[in-house]
Amino acid sequence: MNLKSQNPQFDTDFFSALNHTLRRQALLSLLERGPLCVCHLTERLGASQPTISRQMAILREKGLVGSFRKGQWIYYDLARELPGWARAILDTLRETRPDIQNQSLHFAQNLCPGQDPPHLLFLCTQNACRSQIAFGWARALGGARVEVRSAGTHPHPEGVNPLAVSVMHARGIDLSGQSSTPVDASLLQWANLVVTVCGEADESCPVLPPGVQKEHWPIPDPDRIHGSSREIFLAFARTCDDIETRVRDLLKRLGIEILDTTLPSPATN
């Protein structure tokens, strides 16, 4: 594949976008789904509307996406002028699950037998839902083979979301004693791997100490769902299941044997 074009600046902008988590995920979403408005991208990527709008404006300025108005909404799509080689690279990234970053694989390869258990820090904005659920799953499935903490860039003053506690309780995991914790330098020094589970946390993640790895999981915020009590609860349940799958995959990639658990099946009523 010829990766050189007649526009070196475009090449630089394209590969720079691929190295930015949110911009890369936006490009892949447009490749997979076609034109999307900011509201769709916000839900799909788990970032705030201002954050998405800012990143899409950058992509449009660089000529990587185009936009058009449909009613009151602005829709974005991959630029018509996007070279074939660039689309081929995006196709390859889509096929290799771009939401799973290479950092944790690199981290796993550097673990030595007999080394202390890896330290995982799950980070989101409020430390009230997604990072707490990830903490619960990692602790339940990894046991003593991994040490886990969670924190937030702007912790929620009321602590863990009751619906997060409820859906995890239905799966046999108790989060009732958890509280929202602010991320600080000591936590970052403690961690081997930081996993951001929302777009805002990925954008505002502090500079990590040398040797600390990071990966990002673009998980939509279930607390933003509007609907009946049942619909909202089911949104939290889907988030819980999504995070369980991601945690299992992470532990597997880190070479950590998953505990044989007898966790109950979630209630469906």
Q: Are residues 62 and 134 in the same domain?
A: no
Q: Which runs of consecutive H residues, i.e. helices, occur in the chain?
A: 8-18, 21-33, 38-45, 49-61, 84-95, 103-109, 130-142, 162-169, 185-190, 199-204, 229-253
Quick check: is 198 catalytic?
A: yes
Q: At 80, which CATH number?
A: 1.10.10.10
Domain of residue 82: give its range.
Answer: 8-95
The number of folded domains in the chain is: 2
Residue 268 counted as domain residue: no
Say how many C-beta atoms besides its own lie within 10 A of residue 160's C-beta: 25
Q: Does residue 63 share a domain with residue 109?
A: no
Rounded mean pLDDT, 3-14: 68
Long-range contacts of 143-146 (CB under 8 A, 24+ apart): 143/259, 144/117, 145/117, 145/256, 145/257, 146/117, 146/118, 146/119, 146/120, 146/251, 146/254, 146/256
In sequence order, the β-bridge partners of residue 147 are 119
Would you say residue 221 lies in a domain?
A: yes
Q: What is the mean pLDDT of residues 24-44?
A: 86
Query: Could you tell me the pLDDT band of residue 67, with boundaries at 50, 70 and 90?
Result: very high
Contact in structure between 134 and 197 (CB atoms under 8 Å): yes
Give yes or no: residues 168 and 239 share one domain.
yes
Identify the band that residue 78 occupies on the pLDDT scale cut at 50, 70 and 90: very high
pTM of the full predicted structure?
0.60
Q: Residues 37, 39, 129, 198: which is the catalytic one?
A: 198
Does residue 34 form part of some domain? yes
CATH classification of the domain holding 132: 3.40.50.2300
In a domain, 110, yes or no: yes
C-alpha Rg value of the chain to the nearest Å: 20
Residue 240 lies in a domain: yes
Q: pLDDT higher for 188 or 209?
A: 188
Alpha-carbon torsion (52, 53, 59, 63), positive or negative: positive
My answer on whether 82 and 109 are in the same domain is no
87 and 111 housed in the same domain? no
Say which residues have a Cβ less than 8 Å from residue 60's Cβ, sequence separation at least 6. Answer: 66, 67, 76
Span 153-200, pLDDT tens digits: 999 988 999 999 999 999 999 999 999 999 998 999 999 999 999 877
Indicate whether 59 and 190 sit together in one domain.
Answer: no
C-alpha–C-alpha distance, residues 60 and 169, integer Å = 44
In a 3-state reduction of DSSP, which class is residue 212?
coil
262 part of a folded domain = no
Average pLDDT, the chain: 82
Highest mean pLDDT among 31-40, 159-168, 202-211: 159-168
| Catalytically annotated residue among 37, 124, 129, 240 | 124
CA distance 244 to 80: 38
Residue from 66, 80, 60 nearest 17 by CA? 60
pLDDT one-digit tens code per residue, 80-123: 888 888 888 888 777 654 444 444 444 554 544 445 789 999 99
Read off the DSSP letter of residue 189: H
Could you tell me if 47 and 81 lie in one domain? yes
Distance CA 41, CA 233 (A): 22
Instruction: Give pLDDT, residue 1.
Output: 41
3-state secondary structure of 195: strand
Query: Residues 44, 104: contact at Cβ < 8 Å?
Result: no
Residue 152 lies in a domain: yes
Q: Is 205 marked active-site?
A: yes
Encoded tokens for 121:
């820090």
> What's residue 245's pLDDT?
92
- In the residue annotation, 240 being an active-site residue is answered as no
pLDDT for residue 7: 65
Query: Is the residue at 237 inside a domain?
Result: yes
Asked whether residue 174 falls in the same domain as residue 245, the answer is: yes
Kindly state whether residues 148 and 180 are assigned to the same domain.
Answer: yes
Q: What pLDDT is attached to residue 103?
A: 44
